[in-house]
Structure 1
Amino acid sequence: MEERLADLGKGISVAGPRSLPGPRKGDGDEVLGEPARFFGRRDEILLFSEYARSVRSGWARAVLIEGEAGIGKTSLINRLLQDLGDFLVLQATGDRTETDLPFGVIGQLTRNVPDAWLAEFPLLGRGALFPSSGDSTSPFSVGAQFIRLLDELQAARPVAVVVDDMSWTDELSQRVLAFVMRRLWADRVLLVFALRTEEAALPRSACDWRRLILGVPNGHRLVLDALSLEDVVEWVEGSAGGHSPPPGTAERLHRITHGHPLYLQTVLAETAAPRLAVAPGLVPVPQPLSAALRHQFEILPADSRALLEALAVLDGWAPLRFAARLSGVEDMSAAVQPLVDAGMVRHRSDGLIRHVSLRHALQRDVILSATPARRLRELHAAAAPLVDSTSSWRHKVAAAAGASPRLASDLEQAATEAIEAGDMERAATYLLWAADLVGAREQRERLLLTAAAYLIWLDKFSRVEPLMHEVRSCGPTPLRDLVVAAFAISQGAPAASERQMARAMESAEAVPGMDWAAAMAGVWLGTHCVIEGRGEEAARFSRHVLRMNSTGRHFTRRAKINLVYSSGFRGARTALRQLEDVYAPAGRSEVDSEADRLMWRGIYRALSGELRSGEKDIVAGLELGKIAGLSMLDEFGQVHLGLVRYLSGVWDEAMISARNSIVVQSAEGRPWLYAHSYGLLACVHAGRGDVVSARRYARIADESLLGVSCLAWPVIAKATISQAAGDHRSMLDALRPLLDVPDTAGQRLLELWWVPLHAEALIECDRRAEAEKAMEHLKSLAAETPYLRLPESWLHGRLMERSGDRQAAMRLYETAVKSPVRADENPIHRASAEHSYGAALLAAGERGEGRTWLTTARDRFMAITAFPFARRCEGLLAEGEHFESSQADKLEGMTERERHVAHLVGNGLTNKEIAAELFISMHTVDYHLRNIYGKLGINSRRRLRDHMQGVGSRPALS
């Protein structure tokens, strides 16, 4: 607890405008008109110039500048910006005091973008990024709009997005920036991020920036090491003011400072240039760096030290007059000049107002450690009423000399207001501060446990883990049980912890004012049971939460999601019948409730065989959620939209949706459905004959499996790989896990997908008794699911044929192939029936009609790019007679992204619509189109549309 208070005193920021540096040379790196000197780093500057030239030519670049504290990352960035005079620069700096400010850095980046530019991007507008009551805005939605904004800005001139101190940026901003970085390609956008080496892998970081930067083809990592001797010589000579330092001066400084820029700067600032020239042996070089910085601070005039103390307390940019008033300094110019000479402050101008800040966090830490605690408390107390309300809390807490029950009470009230505004993480921060300010153990533990519960709800386990020792030491209460159990479940120890959480829910509900904790426990239990495939238990917990009074909207929404999802474990039609009871009628006027209702209705309609109406609802739900920037169900909607399109035979669109689901999960930091998304990708690649990719995606799906309820997706993926290869024994083995789990574990939700596959595998493996049983089940499903009537007729025919009853088989095949084409049918089922019918006709000697049906099947398989299936038709057609081979894949040789762009052009989408669908910029769409035209030997959009007719587009309903 003492550490939290101690660290707080180092983390205060002043309110006020943060202007974004424009593209002017040297802006942001001048101190009261005197330009800061920069030496060395020639290799890095040359590399950066190459990156800038590439961006000007239309190739996005992302650069991570990494190095230890004081190594010169910020100075290098400021120097590099001098070469970007033709760029629009959007700049932000991470702040350790604002890591719980949602989208704080994104707000900095967009702050100086004119309102007119932001008008069509409602999630980026002034004040729009902060959370509202309920669930917070989705990083994925914000990222999608940020890409569109960059798309428009780069049309005028190249754009540089520069973020210093990445490890101190808030998690939501990190997720947005990671999303944007992965989606830029043929864009005039340069991303520059600076990160401390020692903080690169800190658990508080939302993203592994090293891995991310090296995982994109346009990513580059610049690691800053110590300055070379040559660099130090240049710096010493440049600092000598025209005098020539005696021989050996630079070498000695390099040896003692090890080429550390901040250390070198500190030493040179303490030593006047003439002294360097005449007495190199007397250069003071205290060891270590902290001692040098402290010595530099202590030898300053009193007013200069007072000004630095104020700046250290404010911890950020502050108007110079404001800092001077806070420090009690009357002559600003006299106080600031020694700081200019020492290189300890930097400045910027917001109109007529000068803002100053300390140049480096290491200097700030040394100043705070050298300043008496009483003096720091006085400065914090003086600053509190002068800044905005959010920053004032930090100053008030830092000004407290010990326990302060009144301040703790005020902080608890501020936490309540933050909860009402939807900012649960900030509420947790306030409660942790309050816990350190109360003397009574019971009250302290209540505040600590409440804060920990909020953080676990937000999946902020990196903040919770350091608290767990203190949490476990708390006295037995329902809240303690809830936190301990939830953390244990998150770490993979569910059994005993689940029982502990259930007890906590019951106990909390009996305590006045603890409804929220009981609801939180109920939602956690419901989610855990859903993942484990225990639908009835999940539904029981969820209904219990919904019956509680005074639960927040975020708990209610999550409970409804768990309830509706778990109802699907009894089958899609059962869930569809119960859906309206969950969402009607009170919540329909609210955007989140209506978006969720549409999404679930679409999913369950589709899984009941109503593919087209289901697709329409899912798309409507996604669009409604996109307008409001909602999170939570986008990944679920996208992957099920992909499944609908896969079953409809529109495989390129299925891949687009599966990829979009992965993009959402990555951006949101919720890899819940990777097994679904990668499993679906495996199915498409298997159907096209790309076995290597299919197996890779199936393996990822297997490794991403969270629980039994997700089992069907990787299982079906492996079965589909075997089906495409014609290996029905492996297909049957792959499907076995779905039969080995309880009937209510979630596999019934996907029966229209896997039950025909299972029946096919049994039939082709001559497992007659089991096949007859499977066909009975399929027939019962088809009675109320028209989608399954076509595969039921075809597979019944296959069963008869394998049993030797060819006449019955022919009748069933004929019924299947001559049935009217339905909007809600899987073209691969019809093509498979046509294949079986044609093959049976050939075997019966009716070669003409048999070849006709085989050709029809072949063409239908080709239309959906099911190449292995088409080749099996061609194998029969080639027996003994010449035949005209089908056209090869017209998009062969295309990358996956090029296929997607070509497919969407074939569907009539504009570049803007394609960019929105794929979450890329229009510049990147243009780039892919140029590549597509070149590979196909065409030169117009119209010719591409003509070319795409029948190639992977939605099959004609005839």
Structure 2
Amino acid sequence: MTDLDSTARPLIGRDRARETILLVAHRAIDQGGAVLVTGEPGLGKTALLADVAQRLDGWTVLRVSADSFESDLAYATVETLVRGLAGLGGTAIRPPAPDDDALTVGRLLLDAIDALSGPVCLIVDDAQWVDEPSARALRFVVRRLSDRDFLFTAATRPQQNSVSDLFEDLASSSVNHARIDLTPLTVSDTQELAEHILGHAVSRRTATRLTEATQGSPLLLSVLLGQLHDTFTQALHPAGWDLPDTAIMPLASAISAALEGADVSVRTAAEFVAVLRDPLPAPVVGTIAARLGERLDLPGAVTRGLVLGTPRDGVLWVEPAHALLADALAADLTVERRVQLHRVAADVLDGHRALRHRVEAADTADPGLVDELLTAALAAADQGRAEQAMSYARSAMHLATDGELERSLIELGLLAMRFRLHEQILDLRPAIETLPPSPARDAVLLELRTLSRDVPGALELALRLEAAPALTPDERAIRTHVAEALPKVLMAMGDFSGVLDHLDTGRLHIAECPAPEDVADPALRWLAEPDEHLVRLLGWALNSAAHAQRPDLFGPLTAELDELLVQHESPAAVDALVARSRVFILGGDIERARADLAKANELVRRFPSSWTAGFVRTIYAHILFLVGEWEESVTLADTAVALALDETDLSCWPIALWTSTLVRAGRGESEPVTERLRSAAKADPRITGSYDGDLPFLARAELARALGRPEHQLRATLDAEDAATRASTLGWLTYRVDALATLGRAADARAAYERCAAPGLWRPYYGSLRWLEGRVLEAEGRAADALQAYREAAGESPFPFPDAIAALDAGRLLAAGRATAGSGAAPRSETDRAEAGVLLERAAATFRRLGASAYLARAVQLLDALRAAGDTAPGVELTSAVDPLAPLTTRERQVAHALAAGMTNKEIAERLYVSVTTVNFHVRNILAKLGMRSRRELRALALPRRRPVRTDRPVKS
């Protein structure tokens, strides 16, 4: 085999394994090394080794793959290796003869490999099929090369064989070795793989469904995603996508291979387990088989990889090895055979499982079963089991006759409303549209039209529902819901005055809400929650009062909402708090916005079915960025991204991606910022929410400033203005003034500054007005005036990052000796030198705490220059406040701070929505980059702590 190029190919979920092998390879140059990779079929052993081979620059890589059909042929594996050696040229070696002894063949191979220059890597794939004579010859070779620049790497299934014995032998005599057990891909890995193959993101719910269906097999996932590309692009909602029946087709060959030569009882066992699906004790499966007069070989099906067997308290429990394999097996059975199996299972089993098998066995319309399913759905809903309730209701819909179909569709729609699972019924909208009008049908349709962006249709329905007489408790419960649903439609139309005009009518209808026990239809009782609807109505009204410029309403509405929220914690409370926080942000009251969002963020963990669940995390992450809590900000923003595509309201997804770039931009991380902005740009512009559309341009501008690129910074602000809407908070103007001043364009900087100073929406979130004035003054050559402006701007403010930048600018002018009444430089006074040191130290401390390494480097450079010039004033000690975490990426910083706080890897994984394996990988990288040997050393490191933020400070401008 010839040398391979070093072009890296995507390898999802195997970063840690790859880095481990490469580390062993690096050490092997001096002392030799060995790696054994184990894993079940389809977990990516071959892909991992191919990826590693590509990265071994300067190595001669010899790859050989054993073959199951030649495992009983002497020296079959060696012959493959000989052909590879012959292809290198100048390493002629005769092929081994069947009667050669292993030592002779081993010496021939050793001479050929010894003749190769530079380090050599021998990769043996599918090592479980290596014939015994080849294994003995390889043992002879590898043992004699183990102390030179040689790496032996083998991949095998997790079973003992001659090659794994060889590895164990080498490991016992060498410190440079590693055994890697590949595990299935996690949900996060599946999301990454899906985005790579499909070209767009999938929701966490969809990724979970795919991971469970394939048991995290990269091979099955890759095949499946390739086959399903078109069905994903046609999905109405990324979390509502279902695995189509056609997905099982590519697996037929895998089943055929697994069953080759097997007894019929093995196939029968695999088929039974595939149809039964749920984990069951083997004796129960045996009982079902006995009633059907069938003989099963469950251990044989386990051995063949079609059934997963797990001992529990001495009893073997069985379930399908892969959901997709089970589908493929079941699809090969006749309908009569499957129905027969389900009927017997329904008799043998009980509870939920029996009901599910009764559904599967139903071959005619059964009104009694439909009624039982809808009753079970409501019972599951009352116990909070949303997915089970939806599953029952969908089954009822499929089994319903014409007379029962209307009821089934409406009850399914009401369940989706109750649990905010509208994405699961978007495909049913046409069927619901054709139903006869009724208050319940129209309530379901109102929400589907709203989410489908059919605003005129939604408004027509909402007005009709509001105007219709409500004569029964059921009708009044529905009208109570409409009282807070109509404002959502009006806000989507931009009719904020209409929301306020509706307020009194909405209050009246909510006041007439019946008690739950008075509602006759149990599917509607959950709507009889007047406080829920009133809290939401007040939230929408507050938001509308701000947009309609009715400050007279804001105070009374806020007081009323606060009184309700004292004893009301619910999804509606989340929505109201988020709505009000957006008003505070527009008005410049960051502290009150932060307080509302902090409370909403706590509530959303208990009530994830709120309309604004995604916006809670996103907007709060933005606020935390502004007030200097960057670690919390980026963690929350990343969580928002991870969960955004699972939300009913998709409009938060691009905004979550934008917000997740802010901290990374401030830290100068170009690639993650670009990647996230590119992903956000793929979103349908019709679904993008209204919250601060300036964020992607602000991130681009901040990244350019962190990297010292004022031209790019200015370009981002020009793009922002071109794309601005009336909801823009004009934050990009701050970056424009700064960029123009840096470029020396004083007149343009002055004009941009005047736009900030004029009354309007501009807020000092990214730099105070006084600091901006200083930037303009400095560009105009008025250094003394600029210094005074910087000094004033560098006082206490709610925004530590721009505060530190102002201190940096003031220290820079003082250190340069330019802050005099004239335009020329003058000798620095002792007072100026002392003040410069204090300002620069203060700026450096903030940059260090935030992890803003580029800005910290500038502050430290100025401090070092002061020290070198001997300008330190008496009593002032200058320190180069280097960021101890500077080598880390933002994700690694998140993990490092969590470790320092004493969190376990499992807790960190849950916090960051990643796998424990991923956290382990990050911990290993963190310790390596920081030159540490243990987590204890990291905990001993004095990491920056949160800065307490006062709640009684006004925003400075």
In the alignment, structure 1 residue 657 sits paired with structure 2 residue 636 = yes
| Aligned twin of 1:138 | none
User: In 1, are the aligned partners of 2:574 and 2:613 still within 8 Å (CA)?
Assistant: no
Q: What residue identity is the alignment partner of 2:256?
A: H
- Over residues 546-599 of structure 1, what are the superposed CA-to-partner deviations in whole Å (9 max), with x where a residue is unaligned? 753262668777767656666665799997974553353366264767777887
Q: What residue identity is the alignment partner of 2:295?
A: V
Q: What residue identity is the alignment partner of 1:445?
A: E
Match of 2:295 among 328, 336, 343: 336
1:831 aligned counterpart, secondary structure: helix
2:625 aligned counterpart, secondary structure: helix
Residue 82 and residue 528 in structure 1: after superposition, are their counterparts in 2 closer, same or farther (change >3 A)? Answer: farther
User: In 2, are the aligned partners of 1:651 and 1:684 still within 8 Å (CA)?
Assistant: yes
- Over residues 97-141 of structure 1, what are the superposed CA-to-partner deviations in whole Å (9 max), with x where a residue is unaligned? xxxxxxxxxxxxxxxxxxxxxxxxxxxxxxxxxxxxxxxxxxxxx
Q: What residue identity is the alignment partner of 1:336?
A: R
1:588 aligned counterpart, secondary structure: coil
User: In 1, are the aligned partners of 2:206 and 2:240 still within 8 Å (CA)?
Assistant: no
- Over residues 756-814 of structure 1, what are the superposed CA-to-partner deviations in whole Å (9 max), with x where a residue is unaligned? 55776798553656643531437x999xxxx8798233334556667788876665455
Match of 2:335 among 369, 373, 386: 369
1:891-906 matched pairs, under 5 angstroms: 891-903=885-897
In the alignment, structure 1 residue 421 sits paired with structure 2 residue 383 = yes
Tell me, in whole angstroms, the C-alpha distance in 2 between the residues paired with 1:494 and 1:854. Answer: 60
Tell me, in whole angstroms, the C-alpha distance in 1 between the residues paired with 2:206 and 2:646. Answer: 9
In the alignment, structure 1 residue 777 sits paired with structure 2 residue 739 = no
Residue 781 and residue 428 in structure 1: after superposition, are their counterparts in 2 closer, same or farther (change >3 A)? Answer: closer
Tell me, in whole angstroms, the C-alpha distance in 2 between the residues paired with 1:361 and 1:479. Answer: 37
Identity of aligned residues (%): 20
| Aligned twin of 2:138 | none
Offset, 1:685: 3.7
Residue 316 and residue 916 in structure 1: after superposition, are their counterparts in 2 closer, same or farther (change >3 A)? Answer: closer
2:710 aligned counterpart, secondary structure: coil
Q: What residue identity is the alignment partner of 1:390?
A: H
Match of 2:257 among 257, 261, 265: 261
Match of 1:647 among 626, 638, 642: 626
Residue 224 and residue 831 in structure 1: after superposition, are their counterparts in 2 closer, same or farther (change >3 A)? Answer: farther
1:709 aligned counterpart, secondary structure: coil
In the alignment, structure 1 residue 502 sits paired with structure 2 residue 462 = yes
Q: Which runs of 5+ in 2 are unaligned?
A: 1-36, 50-155, 162-179, 192-202, 244-249, 514-524, 872-877, 951-957
Offset, 1:848: 1.5
2:663 aligned counterpart, secondary structure: helix
> What is the aligned residue count?
711
In the alignment, structure 1 residue 793 sits paired with structure 2 residue 759 = no
User: In 2, are the aligned partners of 1:481 and 1:500 still within 8 Å (CA)?
Assistant: no
In the alignment, structure 1 residue 390 sits paired with structure 2 residue 370 = no
1:487-566 matched pairs, under 5 angstroms: 487=448, 490=451, 493-503=453-463, 505-506=465-466, 510=470, 512=472, 513-514=474-475, 547-548=509-510, 549=513, 551=527
User: In 1, are the aligned partners of 2:896 and 2:926 still within 8 Å (CA)?
Assistant: yes
- Over residues 259-283 of structure 1, what are the superposed CA-to-partner deviations in whole Å (9 max), with x where a residue is unaligned? 92377458x639xxxxxxxxxxxxx
In the alignment, structure 1 residue 444 sits paired with structure 2 residue 405 = yes
Match of 1:675 among 654, 679, 682: 654
Q: What residue identity is the alignment partner of 1:777?
A: P
- Over residues 637-687 of structure 1, what are the superposed CA-to-partner deviations in whole Å (9 max), with x where a residue is unaligned? 443443334223454443333223323436768754343333334333443
Match of 2:715 among 717, 725, 730: 730
| Aligned twin of 1:131 | none
Tell me, in whole angstroms, the C-alpha distance in 1 between the residues paired with 2:545 and 2:470. Answer: 28
| Aligned twin of 2:247 | none
| Aligned twin of 2:807 | 831
Offset, 1:733: 1.9
Residue 466 and residue 690 in structure 1: after superposition, are their counterparts in 2 closer, same or farther (change >3 A)? Answer: closer
Residue 446 and residue 943 in structure 1: after superposition, are their counterparts in 2 closer, same or farther (change >3 A)? Answer: closer
User: In 2, are the aligned partners of 1:535 and 1:567 still within 8 Å (CA)?
Assistant: yes
Q: What residue identity is the alignment partner of 2:807?
A: A
User: In 1, are the aligned partners of 2:627 and 2:800 still within 8 Å (CA)?
Assistant: yes
Tell me, in whole angstroms, the C-alpha distance in 2 between the residues paired with 1:385 and 1:265. Answer: 34
Tell me, in whole angstroms, the C-alpha distance in 1 between the residues paired with 2:278 and 2:448. Answer: 35
- Over residues 205-236 of structure 1, what are the superposed CA-to-partner deviations in whole Å (9 max), with x where a residue is unaligned? 9779999xxxxxxxxxxx97847xxxxxxxxx
Offset, 1:700: 3.7
Offset, 1:713: 2.0
Tell me, in whole angstroms, the C-alpha distance in 1 between the residues paired with 2:662 and 2:628. Answer: 12
Q: What residue identity is the alignment partner of 2:383?
A: A
Tell me, in whole angstroms, the C-alpha distance in 1 between the residues paired with 2:897 and 2:495. Answer: 40
Q: What residue identity is the alignment partner of 1:677?
A: A
Offset, 1:422: 3.6
* Mean Cα deviation higher: 713-722 or 531-540: 531-540
For the aligned residue pairs, the C-alpha RMSD in angstroms reads: 6.4
Offset, 1:522: 6.6
User: In 1, are the aligned partners of 2:281 and 2:315 still within 8 Å (CA)?
Assistant: yes
User: In 2, are the aligned partners of 1:163 and 1:194 still within 8 Å (CA)?
Assistant: no
Tell me, in whole angstroms, the C-alpha distance in 2 between the residues paired with 1:808 and 1:514. Answer: 69
Match of 1:935 among 924, 929, 933: 929
Offset, 1:715: 3.6
2:435 aligned counterpart, secondary structure: coil
Residue 581 and residue 902 in structure 1: after superposition, are their counterparts in 2 closer, same or farther (change >3 A)? Answer: same
Tell me, in whole angstroms, the C-alpha distance in 1 between the residues paired with 2:937 and 2:224. Answer: 55
User: In 2, are the aligned partners of 1:482 and 1:500 still within 8 Å (CA)?
Assistant: no
1:646 aligned counterpart, secondary structure: helix
User: In 2, are the aligned partners of 1:583 and 1:593 still within 8 Å (CA)?
Assistant: no
Tell me, in whole angstroms, the C-alpha distance in 2 between the residues paired with 1:465 and 1:669. Answer: 10
1:657 aligned counterpart, secondary structure: helix
Tell me, in whole angstroms, the C-alpha distance in 2 between the residues paired with 1:914 and 1:337. Answer: 45
Tell me, in whole angstroms, the C-alpha distance in 1 between the residues paired with 2:288 and 2:895. Answer: 59
Residue 615 and residue 401 in structure 1: after superposition, are their counterparts in 2 closer, same or farther (change >3 A)? Answer: closer
**TM-score, structure 2 normalization:** 0.56
Match of 1:867 among 845, 850, 854: 854
| Aligned twin of 2:521 | none
Q: What residue identity is the alignment partner of 1:834?
A: A
Residue 816 and residue 517 in structure 1: after superposition, are their counterparts in 2 closer, same or farther (change >3 A)? Answer: same
| Aligned twin of 2:114 | none
| Aligned twin of 1:841 | 819
1:585 aligned counterpart, secondary structure: helix
Tell me, in whole angstroms, the C-alpha distance in 2 between the residues paired with 1:807 and 1:358. Answer: 77
Q: Which runs of 5+ in 1 are unaligned?
A: 1-41, 55-78, 85-156, 182-188, 212-222, 228-258, 271-292, 298-306
In the alignment, structure 1 residue 582 sits paired with structure 2 residue 544 = no
Tell me, in whole angstroms, the C-alpha distance in 1 between the residues paired with 2:787 and 2:271. Answer: 92
2:828 aligned counterpart, secondary structure: helix
Q: What residue identity is the alignment partner of 1:494?
A: D
Higher relative contact order (CA 8 A, sep 6+): 1
User: In 1, are the aligned partners of 2:887 and 2:930 still within 8 Å (CA)?
Assistant: no
Residue 46 and residue 395 in structure 1: after superposition, are their counterparts in 2 closer, same or farther (change >3 A)? Answer: closer
- Over residues 907-933 of structure 1, what are the superposed CA-to-partner deviations in whole Å (9 max), with x where a residue is unaligned? 787878766654567887676555445
Tell me, in whole angstroms, the C-alpha distance in 2 between the residues paired with 1:825 and 1:842. Answer: 27
Offset, 1:841: 0.8
